[in-house]
Amino acid sequence: MKSFFLLPVALLALTIGAGAAAEGEEGTSLEKRIQNLKREVLSLNRDLFILEEELLFPANSQVAVFLSLDVGRFFQLDSVQLKIDDKPVTGYLYTRREGEALRRGGVQRLWVGNLPSGEHELVALFVGKGPHDRDYRRATSITFEKEPGPKYLEIRIRDSEAMMQPEFEIREW
Amino acid sequence: MYRRSLPSFLLLLFAVSDVAVAGSWGKVENLHYGEALYHFHQGKYLDALMALDVAETGHGLAPNEDQAQLLRGSLYLAYGLPGAASELFRDVLDRFEAPEIVAQAWLQLARIHFRSGEVEEAARVLARIGEALPPSRLPQRDLLTVEIALARDDPDTALRVVEGMAAVRELHYARFNTGVWLLAHGRREEGVTLLDRVGTLDSRGDPELAALRDKANVALGYTWVRNDDPNRVTTYLQRVRLEGPFSNKALLGLGWGYAEAGLFRRALDPWLLLSSRSHLDPAVQESLLAAPYAMEKLGARRQALEFYLNSVAGLSQERERIGEAIASIRDGGFLEELLATNPDRKGIAWSWQLERLPDHPASHYLRHVLAGNRFQQGLRRYRELQEIENRLADKAADMVVLEQMLETRRQAFHDRLPKIEERLARHEIQDLRGRRDRLSRQLEEITSGERPLALANDRELRLLARLERAEERLQRLQGLGDTGDAAEKLRLLRGVLYWQIASDFAPRRWAARRALRDLDQALEELERQMTSLKRARHSAPEGFEGYDTRIDSNRHRIRLLLAESRTLRNHQAEQLKALALEGLEAQRSRLGNYLAQARFAIARLYDELAQEFPAVERPSGAALPPATGEIR
């Protein structure tokens, strides 16, 4: 009287981690077509991104500001505000996920815009938690020369082991 | 709307991701590579790919080129493009030499081969990894080694690797897979030892590991069901969470553990508990036959008969409902409801997972079908296609915006052009330069001729003019009276004024020269502006000319891709529908099988009871014979 016994089914259902089940011929062909479509979509996305960037931020006037975080033990970034030539250009509030992405080596493109050739001043104001979980506000600035061709600036937040404090600097690329 | 959560073991299907999230992606020395990592670490794989692709066509990715290529390959793999990923990893092997990069490329290639079912090729590639793999990647290599070894029927290699693995997540999967393999191939003791370690792992706060732990304990419990050892069965199956996705299976096994040892009274407890649960679960359905089977064994044939009769009613009802579910799936709309109930909250199609079931007649019967790998993969593809269509539709809208922007630019340029042309034609700079040169010469003459009066200010010039007028008047009055004192006074005043101007000559000359220098600077700035204006006049059309063709061509591409995506999504929907129907039909067939067995048992019991007690009649509800044994 064990004809309805589920045991074999139970054991079969337990195997995991093996490769995907082989699909029928139709499935394989569909899969191939989907893969081709995805590749074409990726290529289209890239072309459109370049087109938009050329139109919106032509190389000669383009300025991009990036932000990176090295280690981040002494500073937990909550928000940042950017001013260029004393005008606010962007403010950004960080989620935990974004903070974690920065800590793991990610570099955020914080702002991209257009500036005329000549001298400009960038000021970045950081708000977050410093050593011992204390509220922390710091600002850093740089005066830079915009020349023809895109200009990249990287704001780096680093741990100063000697000072047990975060350090803020802006680097021109 | 009533919604029910899906069992958490669904998560297991994606437990070992295609993208090796853990581990080091090298020191970031290229902003664009860093930007790709920023998206990648947030699970925004499409954005990460875009950052890499754009950087490659523009500024390049040096000196992170090799890591970037590895990352791109992993992203392609996660995006369901194993062919493209394979090409990229081969490219890494051809172009780069850093041992840790090469080793990672070999590892990824081995995974691709294994997933394509090319086990021998996977093993060959795996052997080339060498010793340079970063430590964070070692668990992935070890798990793959175990999987390949098992696929090649080489459990000893798998066991050796498992023994040497670090205590990380992959170790539990490696132990589980090896343990199940060993059990299935008759090496019970070794299999039990491995599964027991998974079955006792500390999974608090980790639903994925908790489900793995439950699975291991269910496997262990069922192993001892077959070996008539109810104590061991109890030990393992009681570890399974009572409210977890495997609790029904555990209860069923527990009952069988006792039943196999002849302990039918004890077997009834879990089976009766199980039979009171939702009849949708196959384990519950089986308990509807197992419980009366135990009753019969205990001699409670009348109760068994009643139970069978109730089971037949319950199972028949379920079978009818499944029939309705099949009809509603055929009518369509289920897939749309399923996706509407599980919106893509993160905007990341490929990491999207099914978490909730819609309030649809077919939902409950499809729990097991939906949890299956084939359905999940198909659903993911369907979702990806939907996401592709959304993105393409957005891009099509962007093309309109870009076109309008170009038109605005073109219009603004044509509006401003006449003023610019007029300004450029005025030759202002030359006029101003001429005036400046004249002033400069004048200053030189004043300086070389030591003519301080030429640098008198307005007040002094007015005073000088008044003095001259006074002197003229004095001239006219001469002969009319004594003007000697007045003349002397005027002479004195002129002397004082002249002295004041002359003594201030040097600072005035310096100030004049400085003003001239300021004028030079202003002229230079003006000249720069005019040059820039000339340049802009020639380059401005570049801001809008030539883009029309590119926009048109991209719009055409978008249209074609949208059409292809819709076609493929429809095909995919048909496949999913077929899978769902297949699953439902299998359930209906299983229920039919159970019903047949229950009816057979009823008939048999009626016959047996009728022979013993001739008064027993077939129709349910008729007087039943006195119980030959009661279960209380």
Residue holding tokens 């600097």? A169
State the total domains in chain A.
Answer: 2
Distance from the B513 Cα atom to the nearest Cα atom in chain A, whole angstroms: 28
Which two three-digit tokens encode residue B274?
A: 């199980």
Cβ–Cβ gap B42/A66 under 8 Å: no
**Which domain-ending residue is among A35, A56, A77?**
A56
Instruction: Name the strands in the sheet holding A151-160, side by side, starting at the edge strand that comes first in the sequence.
Output: A107-114, A62-70, A151-160, A165-172
Distance from the B219 Cα atom to the nearest Cα atom in chain A, whole angstroms: 6
Q: Say if A39 falls within a structural domain.
A: yes
Is A14 an 8 Å CB contact of chain B?
Answer: yes
Residue B162: predicted pLDDT: 93
Same domain, A43 and A116: no
Same domain, A75 and A155: yes
> Tens digits of per-residue pLDDT, B551-576?
999 999 999 999 999 999 999 999 98
Same domain, A52 and A68: no
Asked whether B144 and B109 are in contact (CB, 8 A), the reply is no
Task: Please state the rounded mean pLDDT for residues A153-170.
Answer: 87
What CATH number does the domain containing A88 carry?
2.60.40
**Which domain-ending residue is among A56, A76, A98?**
A56
Q: Say if A36 falls within a structural domain.
A: yes
Q: Say if A15 falls within a structural domain.
A: no
> Tens digits of per-residue pLDDT, B615-625?
655 554 444 44
Q: Which domains occur in chain B, in start order? A: 8-256 (1.25.40.10), 427-472+487-543 (no CATH)
% of chain B residues with pLDDT over 70: 89
Exposure string of B130-146, with b = 16+ CB inside 10 Å and e = fewer, is eeebeeebbbbbbbbbb
Q: Say if A111 falls within a structural domain.
A: yes
Which residues of chain B lie closer than 8 angstroms to A21, CB-CB?
A: 373-374
Residue A102: predicted pLDDT: 93
Which residues of chain A lie closer than 8 angstroms to B147, CB-CB?
A: 17-18
Residue holding tokens 């970031």? B28
Q: ipTM strictly over 0.90?
A: no
Out of A107-121, B86-100, B374-388, pick the least confident.
Answer: B374-388
> What is the extent of the structural domain holding A47?
26-56
pLDDT tier, B357 (very low <50, low <70, confident <90, very high otherwise) = low
Cβ–Cβ gap B572/A152 under 8 Å: no
Q: Comparing C-alpha atoms, which of B156, B125, B135 is closest to residue B144?
A: B125
pLDDT tier, B287 (very low <50, low <70, confident <90, very high otherwise) = very high
> Tens digits of per-residue pLDDT, B4-22?
333 333 223 233 444 444 4
Cβ–Cβ gap B543/A55 under 8 Å: yes
Task: Please state the rounded mean pLDDT for residues B280-302.
Answer: 91
Is A55 an 8 Å CB contact of chain B?
Answer: yes
CB-nearest to A55 from B143, B290, B405 is: B405
Count of residues in chain B: 632
Same domain, A51 and A119: no
Same domain, A47 and A66: no
Is A162 an 8 Å CB contact of chain B?
Answer: no
Residue of A14, A48, A56 to mutate for B, most B C-beta atoms under 10 A: A14
The CA-atom distances, in angstroms, between B328 and each of B315, B577, B580, B584, B598 are: 20, 11, 11, 11, 28
Same domain, A52 and A66: no
Distance from the A58 Cα atom to the nearest Cα atom in chain B, whole angstroms: 8
Is B6 an 8 Å CB contact of chain A?
Answer: no
Same domain, A38 and A113: no
Same domain, A50 and A115: no
Out of B38-42, B356-360, B608-612, pick the least confident.
Answer: B356-360
Asked whether A138 and A89 are in contact (CB, 8 A), the reply is no
